[in-house]
Amino acid sequence: MNVNLGRFITGAILILGVLVLVNGLIRGMKENAPIPTQYIMHFRADINEKKDGVVVVNQDRFPWPDPVFTISNLYEYKYPGHFRAGTSAELPFANFRDREGHPFPGVAQFNDFDIRTATMAHVR
pLDDT tens per residue across span 44-95 = 999 999 999 999 999 988 888 889 999 988 999 999 988 999 999 999 999 9
Could you give the number of structural domains in the chain? 2
Same domain for 99 and 53, yes or no, is: yes
Query: 99 or 36, which is more confident?
Result: 99
Same domain for 46 and 67, yes or no, is: yes
Same domain for 61 and 106, yes or no, is: yes
Average pLDDT along the chain: 85
Pairing between strand 113-116 and 68-71? antiparallel
Same domain for 27 and 81, yes or no, is: no
Same domain for 17 and 48, yes or no, is: no
Same domain for 43 and 92, yes or no, is: yes
pLDDT of residue 111: 83
Pairing between strand 120-121 and 39-40? parallel
Residue 62 sits at φ, ψ, to 5 deg, of -145, 155
Same domain for 26 and 55, yes or no, is: no
Residue 74 DSSP symbol: T
- pTM above 0.95? no
Fill in the amino acid letter for 65. Answer: P
Same domain for 14 and 66, yes or no, is: no
Q: How confident is the model at residue 121 (pLDDT cuts 50, 70, 90)?
A: low
Helix (H, G, I), strand (E, B) or coil at 32: coil
Same domain for 15 and 65, yes or no, is: no
Same domain for 57 and 104, yes or no, is: yes
Same domain for 19 and 69, yes or no, is: no
What Å distances lie between residue 113 and 80, 103, 106, 124, CA to CA?
18, 16, 13, 11
Boundaries of domain holding 62 = 39-121
26's enclosing H/E stretch is helix 2-31
Q: Can you tell me the distance from the alpha carbon of 111 to that of 40, in angstroms, rounded to the nearest whole number?
A: 21
Same domain for 54 and 114, yes or no, is: yes
